[in-house]
Chains A and B, each alone.
Chain A
Amino acid sequence: MSAPEAKRRMLLVDDEQKIVDGLQRRLRPQRATWEVATATSGSAALAALEAAPFDVIVTDMRMPEMDGASLLAVVRARHPATMRLVLSGQTDAEAALRAVPVAHQFLSKPTDPVVLLESLNRVALSRDAVADARAVAAVGAVHALPTPPAILDELTQLVNRDGASASAIAAVVERDPAIFLKLLQLVNSAFFGHRREMYRVVDAVSYLGVGLLKNLIDSASILNPGPVAAKRFDALASGQRSRAVAEAARHVGGERGEIYFAAGMLHDVGKLIMASEMPDVYDEVAQRAEASGRSFEEEEERRGGCRHAHVGAYLLDLWGMPQPLVEALAIPPGGRLPSLVAQADEILRRS
């Protein structure tokens, strides 16, 4: 892991030399903070990764021999901490679906590399805030959060029914932070062609289409209903609480109600990652909190090491969620919780 003052490293992969040349030239002015390397094939890219770690890999999708999805699958396994981005000219749904489980972000050509670099700087800052190599690798490797099987079953039945309405589907998705996040991630990626930020599941379903959602659900590697390893985590209860916070946050949000609702739904994804990917840490903190009567957040702080709010924020940034949503979950200086969540908690307590 590179220290903040060290140069960040990016690997550009495209079988068309002109593309990587152009990008590299364009990023030349950033050479004080970023080192940009290029490769014109998957195997060359893997060789470069073996030679030295990279913070980011940006790859084309359609390439001879090893395509972008296959390349990123290998990178996920071998270098989980490396951010994996797709930059593709083609955006047909099938290719996109193959990239979904292995890429963190989906960009479409043409993209402004300077803007991209700015957003990568933000992601790198979130990553550095986690300050826990194991957690960073865990977030990097994860491609889906666990969904309670009951909700996944319900959703499967719904999308397989003829004429399922977007609002009926949204009503189910809005009970599960995991699928909620996945849909917002897809609909807000350039890959799927939308230029406006979207926060409502009903819009996401309308936009992506029920067919694509059905493909997502059918493809076992994308939405993972696997059981949560942590013993002290109840996925259904966590989902219900997220929903309650989301409802309360909507009131707090006023004009930004939909953004706040989404932020409320996602405020605990860090816990979800820890519970499924670092169950020992999660159980330990949860047990201490039970024993001491203190909050989970306070026990995390006392224990030292990673904190779920940072883990969650890193995931949202890494997955390219819109900035207003990420900012809504920012933790104020000296606080333990995003102010939005604190306010929502207050409302829930009163009611």
Chain B
Amino acid sequence: MHKVLERQLRHLGIPLDSEAPISAEKWRGLLARVEAAYTNADQDRYTLERSIALSSAEMKDLHQKLASERDKLRALIGCLGDGLLVTDQNQRVELVNSEAERLLGWRSDELLGRSLTEVLLREPDSGPAESLRERIARAEPCRGDDARFATAGGASIPVAFAFNPIVHERGVQGATMIFRDISDRLAAERARNESEARLRSIFDSAALGIFRLDPRGAILDANPAAVRMFGLTREALSGRTLADLFDARRAVAVAPRADGASAALERQYAHPDGTAMSLHLTETWVRDPSGAIQFGTTIVEDVTATRELEGSLRHAQKLESVGRLASGIAHEINTPIQFVNDNVHFLQGSFETVTSFVDALRSLVRERAPGLAAEADAADLLADWDYLGVEIPKSITQTLDGLKRVETIVQSMKAFAHNDRGVQGLTDLNAALANTLTVAIHEMKDVAVATESFGDIPEVLCSRGDLSQVFLTLVVNAVHAIEDVVKDTGRLGRITVSTRRDGDDVVISIADTGAGIPEAVRGHIFEPFFTTKEVGRGTGQGLAHARSVVVQKHGGGLTFETEPGVGTTFYIRLPIAGARQP
């Protein structure tokens, strides 16, 4: 028996020599209790019984240690920032910390004894709620990030929790439920989501093109407007830098600027469909506190129409001021023309009188004083009268011709410069074209001769002033085109200006015998600021302005045919009844 007990005690790890000697009677008592414990086969109980085997001093010490540990634990639980519920092995709450009381609004005695699943866990709005509930019921460890706990008064709070069973050798002894209120976090998340959605919708629906760039300037993302504007897919855009996208000849690196501030640039872009666009770019770079670039944003505005309008307007203003000047000069010339004309006419009439007077005298001498005839003839010879009698009237006629020409030119200039402020009226386009050719006479000199081939056309409702400028632009362009061909050859080119009626339209054509327009630039000639002429000879505004006048203002058409080495013909088609009112 003794041996059995000894073996058992040794098996249980109970030192037998810890408190010797043990009296037989003590042994017996001890044995009986060990026996009973053993039959229960519960190791804890052995331990428990073992403790009984300890001396009372040791027991006291142990109790004190335990109490101290418990107090520390209580203090720890009490000051936990999270709510804590501890349950016993029957899933009933047996411990509640003050944070849990605060969060849930229950007093701890109201919570004690309740079940976690029934009382506290309410269905989350979504997610694997049921399985969480089941896992808690089965005392499996689990976490929840979007659960709701019921609070006093029937409300609930959103919580994140961690559920952990307390497991011993003898099985589940209870569980801990640690949780925290996540209302603030949810609100912040919601706000962030809303703000993101808002930004996204701006990004997606903005009329402006928006690019997100990485620190090196490569495109991370492009909004739909940018995709439209550049005529490239999002995929084709992504990874490229903006500098890549622009006409290589005019490209200026669009790169982070040293100061990190935003920068505005304007670039020409050749859209894949062939249109030339003016784009205004505003780039902004965001840096971290150390100054390193984190990302960039470039906002692109299509300012093509604005630039065209501005260019056209500037051009029109320039034409207007030149016109005013020309008309001022015309008026200055008119005063001397008035009296020169009057005087020459006076001389013409007077000389006729003088001639008949001299003739009368001569016949008088011949008839009445034949003796004086020789002297009279000598006087005539001396005065060279026969010559003068023929040449003076001739010189006067030629002078009057010249005056007439000056007058016509000045009149044309005046009519050409007449500013109708773009108001449309019935216009004799043949007359306007003839005027234009007169005004351009100097440009054409030694370069080309002009041929008018005017058809019988009705008056057209249009702005004479604006169209006269268009005609002049085309005529001067024609002269320049011919000049390039005939320069220093002594040959003359030809400009043919014709008009004809075509149904409800009038078609004006201005043809030159120049070099023709090279294929490469044909698509660009109506673009604002496009010019192949050297500086000072063309602004690149003429044809753009012409197109805007003919197409936009008059609802007409401006087209051309060109053949290298043969020449170019521009066609202006204008509706007789004027532009249809929109």
* A interface residue numbers (CB < 8 A to B): 16, 18-19, 21-23, 25-26, 28-29, 89-91, 108-113, 166, 193, 195-196, 200, 202-203, 205-207, 209-211
CB of B341 within 8 Å of the partner chain: yes
Minimum-distance CB pairs A-B, first 10: A206-B425, A22-B342, A22-B339, A25-B346, A26-B342, A109-B334, A110-B338, A109-B338, A89-B335, A110-B337
B349 with A113: CB separation less than 8 A: no
Q: Which residues in window 206-226 of B have CB below 8 A to A?
A: none
B contact face: mostly helix, strand, loop, or mixed: helix
Q: Which residues in window 391-440 of B have CB below 8 A to A?
A: 407, 411, 414-415, 418-421, 423-426, 428, 431
B contacts with A, residue count (CB < 8 A): 28
CB of B332 within 8 Å of the partner chain: yes
> Which of B338, B420, B425, B431 lies in contact with A19, CB distance below 8 A?
B338
Cα separation A89 to B331 with both chains bound (whole Å) = 5
B423 with A166: CB separation less than 8 A: yes
Beyond contacts A195-B411, A202-B426: 5 other A-B pairs, Cβ-Cβ < 8 A, are A21-B339, A23-B339, A25-B346, A28-B346, A205-B423
Indicate the member of B338, B339, B421 with the most A CB atoms within 10 Å.
Answer: B338
A89 with B342: CB separation less than 8 A: no
Measured between beta carbons, the chain A residues less than 8 angstroms from B345 are 26
B334 with A108: CB separation less than 8 A: yes
Measured between beta carbons, the chain B residues less than 8 angstroms from A205 are 423, 425
B425 with A166: CB separation less than 8 A: yes
Cα separation A209 to B581 with both chains bound (whole Å) = 19
Cα separation A112 to B332 with both chains bound (whole Å) = 17
- A196 touching B338 in the complex, CB below 8 Å, given contacts A26-B345, A89-B331: no
CB of B343 within 8 Å of the partner chain: yes
A89 with B334: CB separation less than 8 A: yes
* B interface residue numbers (CB < 8 A to A): 331-332, 334-335, 337-343, 345-346, 349, 407, 411, 414-415, 418-421, 423-426, 428, 431
Cα separation A244 to B411 with both chains bound (whole Å) = 39
> Which of A111, A193, A203 lies in contact with B415, CB distance below 8 A?
A193
Measured between beta carbons, the chain B residues less than 8 angstroms from A200 are 426
A93 and chain B: residue at smallest CB distance: B419
Indicate the member of A21, A109, A166, A205 with the most B CB atoms within 10 Å.
Answer: A109
Measured between beta carbons, the chain B residues less than 8 angstroms from A25 are 342-343, 346
A22 with B341: CB separation less than 8 A: yes
B423 with A18: CB separation less than 8 A: no
B414 with A193: CB separation less than 8 A: yes
B461 and chain A: residue at smallest CB distance: A206
Tell me, rounded to whole Å, the shortest Cβ–Cβ distance linking B546 to chain A. Answer: 21
Tell me, rounded to whole Å, the shortest Cβ–Cβ distance linking A65 to chain B. Answer: 19
B423 with A109: CB separation less than 8 A: no
A88 and chain B: residue at smallest CB distance: B331
Tell me, rounded to whole Å, the shortest Cβ–Cβ distance linking A330 to chain B. Answer: 27
Measured between beta carbons, the chain A residues less than 8 angstroms from B411 are 195
Tell me, rounded to whole Å, the shortest Cβ–Cβ distance linking A276 to chain B. Answer: 31
> Which of A19, A113, A206 lies in contact with B335, CB distance below 8 A?
A19
B425 with A202: CB separation less than 8 A: yes
Measured between beta carbons, the chain B residues less than 8 angstroms from A22 are 338-343, 346
Q: What would be 16 A-B contacts, judged by CB atoms less than 8 Å apart?
A: A22-B346, A23-B338, A26-B346, A29-B349, A90-B331, A91-B331, A109-B338, A110-B341, A166-B423, A203-B425, A203-B426, A205-B425, A206-B420, A206-B426, A207-B420, A209-B420
